[in-house]
Structure 1
Amino acid sequence: MSASINHSAPHTLPVTALTGIGSQSAARLEKLGIHTVQDLLFHLPLRYQDRSRIVPIAELLPGMTTLVCGTVEFTDSIQRGRPSVVCRIADASGTLSLRFFHFSVQQSQQLKPGTLLGCFGEIRYGYQGLEMVHPEYKIVACAEQLLETTLTPVYPLTEGVSQSILRKAIKQAVALCLQSDSAIADWLPHGLLQQYRYPSLTDALQTLHNPPPHLSADIISGGSLPALKRLVFEEFLAHHLALLQGKLAYKSWQAPVFQLNDTVKQAFIEHLPFRLTGAQQRVIAEIENDCRQPQPMLRLVQGDVGSGKTVVAALAALMALNAGFQVAIMAPTELLAEQHFRNFSTWFADTATQVVFLTGQLKGKARQTTLQALADGTAGIVIGTHALFQDSVYFHKLGLIVIDEQHRFGVHQRLALREKGQHGGLRPHQLIMTATPIPRTLAMLQYSDLDISIIDELPPGRKPVVTSVISSERRQDVIGRIEHWVAQQRQAYWVCTLIEESEVLQCEAAEKTAEYLTETLPTVRIGLVHGRMKAAEKDAVMQAFKNRDCDLLVATTVIEVGVDVPNAGLMIIENPERLGLSQLHQLRGRVGRGNQDSYCLLLYQSPLSQAGKQRLAILKESNDGFVIAEKDLELRGPGEVMGTRQTGQIQFKIADLERDSDLLELIPSAAQLIHQQHPDAIQPLIQRWIGHSRHYAEV
């Protein structure tokens, strides 16, 4: 690379241009998404250490992470239990133990009595009072040598990359790009910076990598610092722009045009065993309008539990079939896929359409037959789980993809299905459905690439579910109520939840509950469904429940989505305090599907925390999923509501959804301004914050 390029744009240099970064370190840094000098500048601190003052030993408290200085009194190796070396240091106010588990003889010899040590680490309770385990330590001549005038940044790491390697590399990057004339480009318009009183990019980065002496770690982590706010704003903006770019890119493709003949549509609607609500008709009209365009539809349909999203998808499917195209419908669980399969098979029974089913469980000849029907076009609709992504699945002419509960699928999976639909320069229309109402602020961030429709009306005759909050001490009363309920020819669910993520433990809990209830209620026919059962077993139990051959269904949260049994009007949820409000609302939505009164009993373990009481009270008072989602957001924060651990989830470098959610409101108008007046800033902003994961936005 020529010197002139280096001088004009040092931020574009590869990290190997820096002193101390060889090819091995560069390969490790790539795991952190760091390829260039600019990537180092935007690899921002997670938190800060305060080494600006030495704390007297007598003032130490458990949980503090701090700097101490003392003279070694003795060093001893302990052989009982896990071998360790303990060193005791003292200052004028008291003594402190240091404990090391990984230790060399040479280190033991360094820590001779009389040596002055500076130590930095976390204070904990040990065998002999307070101690530091594996502190960073330094032998010094005087305490002043330890003090640093500013906070020390702590960066996100990966295996083989230490804090010191990163700090040295970032220091060089800062010197190259922020302290020279060839400053890094600031892509935020000057007017925006003035409007929100944000500092320049150079100042903001300098502040966070090298905080000035007057800043404390608490001030920075609190989120009110203008330097931090400015960078969070820019990161949110980059994600929003990436989604909008993805939408534009997707919309620039050609898609098949569907025209639905009114006679065909009316005949289909008249055959349905229920009447469509006004909200369903409105959403169907929005979908029809999208599918008449030669660009692909990208629409999210949000509707509360039981609002009738599936039949809306069926009408979209009818449009595709009518135009000679195939439809793929993907559900997150086999149980839900099976239910969609039964519904679609019934609704399309009078048409010439072949509806097929494809999951990982389908094997051998049956699988080959299904794959053949998709490849040659004899099958019009395929319903399945993520098995639809597999390489062996080919479509003759895919025109519409319907994804149910899309937040349960990773981005890679959704991409794979969309790629399958490309043929003859056309891309399929996409319809995404969710029964998890998404609060408006989160929808702006996560779904700004989608047009959103809301089914905000329940079918006529649906009665709200009466919800009661009951302590588990009254468990026997609740069990007695089941007997009375079943005597009236009604059915019930008993849902077992466990705090452990382990599916095995959840299934064991459900099995034990089913055994206990079978002993206690000899006249009640009890079925059991959990995640470790084979699909055929689950299906048989669900079918028996649907056919009224079973009175009480004991289940784990696998029944959260999509099981429809109108005669089941009682639901008991154990340990509801362990689930999120939206998930509880989803479970409750399994009852109240007929025209009789329905009940949901939340059987909690006492004592309930204040937050637990608040959450269960919200559920008791409201049956509106959107109200519940907004309250859930207030109580649990965005990270938990969005399920930040999910695959395909947005990962932020510096933004924190909990702390910074107030900035989300400002993003759509800023994005619009940049699109209209500064389009050249879009790609650099996306590249700077999101880098190489750009194409995900098109999903």
Structure 2
Amino acid sequence: MARAAAPLSFAAVGDAPLSTLSGVGARVAEKLAARGLVTLQDLWLHLPRQYEDRTTIVPIRLLRPGIAAQVEGTVEAVERGFRYRPSLRVAISDESQGTLLLRFFHFRAQQVAQFAVGARVRCYGTPRAGGNGLEIVHPSYRVVAEAGDDALGERLDPVYPAIEGIGPGALRKLIGQALDRLPDAEALELLPEPMRAALDLPSLRDALLTMHRPPRDADVPALLAGTHPSQQRLALEELLAHHLSLRRQRIALQRHRAPALATAGALAQRLRDALPFALTGAQERVFAQLRHDLAQPHPMLRLVQGDVGSGKTVVAALAAMLAVESGRQAALMAPTELLAEQHLANLRAWLEPLGVRVAWLAGKVTGRARRDVLAAVASGEAQVVVGTHALMQDAVAFDDLALAIVDEQHRFGVHQRLALRDKGAGGDRVPHQLVMTATPIPRTLAMAAYADLDVSAIDELPPGRTPVQTVALSAEKRPDLVERIRAACAEGRQAYWVCTLIDDSDEVIAQAAQSTFDALSAALPKARVGLVHGRMKASEKQATMRAFKEGTLDLLVATTVIEVGVDVPNASLMVIENAERLGLSQLHQLRGRVGRGSAASSCVLLYQSPMSQMARQRLETMRETNDGFVIAEKDLQLRGPGELLGTRQTGLAAFRVADLARDAALLPQVRELADTLLADDPALADRIVHRWVGGAARYASA
């Protein structure tokens, strides 16, 4: 793809500081910078959130409540009142014989003087039904000389997201100045003409001008929905920039070496033979993918996602055996001691009969025990090391770390994941990385946010699992639910009762764990009730959880601390208090704590009325499906990618224009464009990344 060198004027203009604009002094620049607006380009990409149509005058008689419009009329009467609070009421009428009331609660004396009877006023706002016909509260307005004397606009007026300390008019003027300095189409354009022509999209310059200054006949619904060709043009380039950024990180990582774990797989086979269950087809497929990756001399970077209970840990253990058989080490890091301890118990049960030494390193391992573990890790005697973030401390030195496994990877900051990877780094060599999550990531999101990873899905549950029955109940039904728990405990079954807060709060209508524990203990005197929450000492939490797992507790009252990794097959009932307050993925994770045995299991979503529309949709989705991948797609629609992934944790920068749920159809094209650019014009790919991502650290190889 031959391409002439593009003019440099774009970078020179687009990267110019906002202080080069008239009216931007130090204080205004500081307020703009607080919103991430530093250069002219930032203002070009600060798009309107809606538009006002001042290109036509609507007769007052044709106004409709709730539909914004521009009207022009003559002042018929003015009334100033102070009964409850200051108010100014101005009645205007027009040639359609319609009358409209303009109402102001904040006004100055000079405004009152402007509204002299007989004055001609043009105003814009959204009418609503008032006591004597339609009224507009605080319209924008101006006094005009005579009817039809003031020319109408040729374009729709943009309304921008508010910036504290800068009025909407001032912001519009600044953006107008910035747009006046847009380079010509050729200097601004980065996508090669053949690419744009194939996609039938406008130039970047035309797209920006249409978004900021749409003509009077523009398709406003499409502009607001983000489906207008101009917005799709911007979204495509932004998605491409982020995709290229991640791909560049992947290419950089691939330049490192990694130990090629091309073993016969005898140790992994011995583990498979010793397991009391057969692997599912999905587990077989994913392990084959891991084995292929680990045999390469460059580092694996693979995300394994699978629903709760799909068997990710077994697959990770098999991968670890390839490292151990090669005479090297594997490490597994989990975000909480509770989850890390569970991994430790499973791995010791599976691996120690094979003669594999499994070490444990967490914050509570202290004194001589800690020194012994550190020595075993440094000498290589500890072949598999399980722990929390304690694995990343400076004192921890591995002999030869070949595989770093991170569970529930989105719960770690990117720096933490890099720190574990660096534990196995030496020269240009880094360990293979396997990251796992039980929160399925929608395919569209994975394509955009994890373009630097290979993604595998364990999309099949082990046989014998009974789907969990899910019902939503009003909190008023609590007494009935308590009776149901009494019956379940009497039959030897166990139950969870999850609360969203630890202590009672006057501000939030939510049952706190402590008061719920007290109430249930009193209501169920024959049941053995335990309590777990995040403020308890780790030793107390572990003891309570162990008692529940061993069956010496019937009912566990807990906060969402038990969301991840607790495995109690006998627990068959899950109650989630104030379920309307939780996101879909969190609800699904909690539900996954039951249904892990052969008994029929239930999940009760207790909600407090009234519910928001989004909360209602979440609970409805939970009732309709147990499929985590379906739930993840719905969660993406409802909450957006930043919240679903945890933007701060993943390093995924917030998008300015693109919306991953809305623009998913662009992603296959984005991938094709990225392939072409990386192969034919890497310098151009760098310029696209710079425009949208800048120098922000991506940590994509974490």
Q: Say yes or no: TM over 0.5.
A: yes
SS for the counterpart of 1:454 is strand
1:258 Cα deviation after fit: 2.7
| Match runs of 1:329-478 below 5 Å | 329-350=332-353, 351=355, 353-359=357-363, 380-386=383-389, 397-419=400-422, 421-468=424-471, 474-478=477-481
Other-structure match for 1:682: 685
Name whichever of 154-163 and 329-338 sits farther off. Answer: 154-163
| Match runs of 1:509-658 below 5 Å | 509-576=512-579, 578-603=581-606, 619-620=622-623, 622-630=625-633, 636=638, 638-639=640-641, 642=644, 647-648=649-650, 649-658=652-661
User: Taking structure 1 as reference, are residues 61 and 86 closer, same or farther at Cα in structure 2, changes over 3 Å only?
Assistant: farther
Other-structure match for 2:155: 150
1:214 Cα deviation after fit: 1.9
| Match runs of 1:60-209 below 5 Å | 73=78, 86-92=87-93, 93-100=99-106, 107-109=108-110, 111-112=112-113, 114=115, 148-156=153-161, 158-159=163-164, 163-164=168-169, 166-178=171-183, 180=184, 183-209=186-212
SS for the counterpart of 1:290 is helix
* Structure-1 separation of matches of 2:63 and 2:395: 63
1:189 Cα deviation after fit: 3.4
Structure 1: runs of 5+ lacking an equivalent: none
1:633 Cα deviation after fit: 5.5
Q: Deviations over 1:26-84 (max 9, x none)?
A: 55544444454444333333333334456678887776666677869366779x8xxx7
SS for the counterpart of 1:657 is coil
* Structure-1 separation of matches of 2:10 and 2:357: 65
1:286 equivalenced with 2:292 (yes/no): no
1:382 Cα deviation after fit: 4.5
SS for the counterpart of 1:293 is coil
1:48 equivalenced with 2:51 (yes/no): yes
User: Taking structure 1 as reference, are residues 22 and 241 closer, same or farther at Cα in structure 2, changes over 3 Å only?
Assistant: same
Q: Deviations over 1:477-503 (max 9, x none)?
A: 433333332233222222335899989
User: Is the 1:504–1:532 contact (alpha carbons within 8 Å) kept by the matching residues of 2?
Assistant: no
* Structure-2 separation of matches of 1:501 and 1:135: 44
User: Taking structure 1 as reference, are residues 55 and 467 closer, same or farther at Cα in structure 2, changes over 3 Å only?
Assistant: same
1:184 Cα deviation after fit: 2.8
Report the residue type matching 2:361 in the other structure.
Answer: F
Report the residue type matching 2:362 in the other structure.
Answer: L
1:298 equivalenced with 2:301 (yes/no): yes
User: Is the 1:32–1:157 contact (alpha carbons within 8 Å) kept by the matching residues of 2?
Assistant: no
If the length of structure 1 is used for normalisation, what is the TM-score?
Answer: 0.83
User: Taking structure 1 as reference, are residues 323 and 215 closer, same or farther at Cα in structure 2, changes over 3 Å only?
Assistant: same
1:551 Cα deviation after fit: 0.8
Report the residue type matching 1:539 in the other structure.
Answer: Q
Report the residue type matching 2:529 in the other structure.
Answer: I
Q: Deviations over 1:464-517 (max 9, x none)?
A: 334455565554443333333223322222233589998996985333332222
1:558 Cα deviation after fit: 2.5
User: Taking structure 1 as reference, are residues 293 and 480 closer, same or farther at Cα in structure 2, changes over 3 Å only?
Assistant: same
Other-structure match for 2:493: 490
* Structure-2 separation of matches of 1:118 and 1:422: 70
User: Is the 1:506–1:556 contact (alpha carbons within 8 Å) kept by the matching residues of 2?
Assistant: no
1:306 Cα deviation after fit: 0.9
* Aligned partner (choices 234, 237, 241) of residue 237 of structure 2: 234
SS for the counterpart of 2:291 is helix
* Structure-1 separation of matches of 2:301 and 2:382: 24
Name whichever of 142-151 and 207-216 sits farther off. Answer: 142-151
If the length of structure 2 is used for normalisation, what is the TM-score?
Answer: 0.82
* Structure-1 separation of matches of 2:80 and 2:52: 27
* Structure-2 separation of matches of 1:418 and 1:452: 19
* Structure-1 separation of matches of 2:421 and 2:205: 40
Q: Deviations over 1:242-262 (max 9, x none)?
A: 222222222222223334453
Q: Deviations over 1:182-215 (max 9, x none)?
A: 7434232333323332112221112112212222
User: Is the 1:123–1:132 contact (alpha carbons within 8 Å) kept by the matching residues of 2?
Assistant: yes
User: Taking structure 1 as reference, are residues 5 and 280 closer, same or farther at Cα in structure 2, changes over 3 Å only?
Assistant: closer
* Structure-2 separation of matches of 1:642 and 1:464: 24
User: Taking structure 1 as reference, are residues 130 and 523 closer, same or farther at Cα in structure 2, changes over 3 Å only?
Assistant: farther
User: Is the 2:10–2:187 contact (alpha carbons within 8 Å) kept by the matching residues of 1?
Assistant: no
SS for the counterpart of 1:229 is helix
Name whichever of 282-291 and 45-54 sits farther off. Answer: 45-54
1:363 Cα deviation after fit: 7.3
Name whichever of 487-496 and 415-424 sits farther off. Answer: 415-424
1:124 Cα deviation after fit: 8.1
SS for the counterpart of 1:329 is strand
User: Is the 2:333–2:406 contact (alpha carbons within 8 Å) kept by the matching residues of 1?
Assistant: yes
User: Is the 1:45–1:209 contact (alpha carbons within 8 Å) kept by the matching residues of 2?
Assistant: yes
CA-based RMSD: 4.3
1:288 Cα deviation after fit: 2.1
Aligned length: 683
* Structure-1 separation of matches of 2:128 and 2:328: 66
* Aligned partner (choices 295, 316, 337) of residue 319 of structure 2: 316
User: Is the 1:49–1:154 contact (alpha carbons within 8 Å) kept by the matching residues of 2?
Assistant: yes
SS for the counterpart of 1:317 is helix
Report the residue type matching 1:88 in the other structure.
Answer: R
User: Taking structure 1 as reference, are residues 306 and 57 closer, same or farther at Cα in structure 2, changes over 3 Å only?
Assistant: same
Other-structure match for 1:480: 483
Report the residue type matching 1:407 in the other structure.
Answer: H
Q: Deviations over 1:137-190 (max 9, x none)?
A: 666656865954322223345555554554444334333334x4x743423233
User: Taking structure 1 as reference, are residues 121 and 530 closer, same or farther at Cα in structure 2, changes over 3 Å only?
Assistant: farther
User: Taking structure 1 as reference, are residues 395 and 165 closer, same or farther at Cα in structure 2, changes over 3 Å only?
Assistant: farther
Q: Deviations over 1:533-552 (max 9, x none)?
A: 33222212111101111011
* Structure-2 separation of matches of 1:543 and 1:49: 62
Q: Deviations over 1:386-421 (max 9, x none)?
A: 555566766565433222222334445444544555
1:695 equivalenced with 2:690 (yes/no): no
User: Is the 2:502–2:559 contact (alpha carbons within 8 Å) kept by the matching residues of 1?
Assistant: no
Report the residue type matching 1:446 in the other structure.
Answer: A
User: Taking structure 1 as reference, are residues 691 and 6 closer, same or farther at Cα in structure 2, changes over 3 Å only?
Assistant: closer
Other-structure match for 2:4: none
User: Taking structure 1 as reference, are residues 354 and 443 closer, same or farther at Cα in structure 2, changes over 3 Å only?
Assistant: closer
* Structure-1 separation of matches of 2:531 and 2:49: 46
1:524 Cα deviation after fit: 0.9
1:263 equivalenced with 2:266 (yes/no): yes
Structure 2: runs of 5+ lacking an equivalent: 1-6, 94-98
SS for the counterpart of 1:112 is helix
SS for the counterpart of 2:457 is strand
1:367 Cα deviation after fit: 6.8
User: Is the 1:498–1:578 contact (alpha carbons within 8 Å) kept by the matching residues of 2?
Assistant: no
Q: Percent identity?
A: 49
User: Is the 2:347–2:358 contact (alpha carbons within 8 Å) kept by the matching residues of 1?
Assistant: no
